Structure 1
């Protein structure tokens, strides 16, 4: 089992990741207007390629969804630390190896269960921070 001291270090790392992501989001949004709204406004002013504007808007939405998923994964990991469930596989309950948690502090599953999950769902895991 991973020690409390290493959980403290991983918790601090998660908190730094969270703060960095929030700062990035604030910078990208440029204030109160979100990127999607800014793109829509630019589109109405543009006289050029509407297809390019639509593609840019779709990309912006996809990036915002990814950033929200990253933030949710970090918050969930911090909640697991607070509740004492951090470092336990959500599927089988075994301890997740310290190396895996160090590489991916938001990991929900041990490496074996993650492989099964990916095969069953046909998709990659949530993004690493």
Structure 2
């Protein structure tokens, strides 16, 4: 994968993550505690859904940070090289996920 292709893939994935965040805003909203409008079990289900939405938001935030770091490595000419050992990262690994910062040996 070339740097231009990687940049386009990373920018596209980042935009998709931001769009997913917008769609999930309602799932992270506070759960109504009025027992007359929602039963106890339904409220517990809503709270569980809320916690899952928050966890998913955190995973997306972490992925955006990895994407931003990869875009920075592209800008400075260090993309495609392992941050730990400096060896080239396998092209198939980069094709699968252009944001990976380590070769397979160092990631293990």
TM-score bin (small chain): 0.7 to 0.9
Q: Which residue of 1 aligns with 2:22?
A: 26
Q: Which runs of 5+ in 2 are unaligned?
A: none
* Residues 1:16 and 2:8 are matched in the alignment: no
Contact 1:88 1:108 in 2 (8 A): yes
Deviation at 1:104, TM superposition (A): 1.2
Deviation at 1:103, TM superposition (A): 0.8
Q: Which runs of 5+ in 1 are unaligned?
A: 116-129
- The count of residues paired between Structure 1 and Structure 2 equals 105
Q: Which residue of 2 aligns with 1:87?
A: 80
TM-score by length of 1: 0.72
Deviation at 1:43, TM superposition (A): 4.7
Q: Distance in 2 between matches of 1:84 and 1:113?
A: 20
Q: Distance in 2 between matches of 1:86 and 1:43?
A: 49
TM-score by length of 2: 0.84
Contact 2:82 2:102 in 1 (8 A): yes
Deviation beyond 3 Å, 4+ runs, structure 1: 41-45
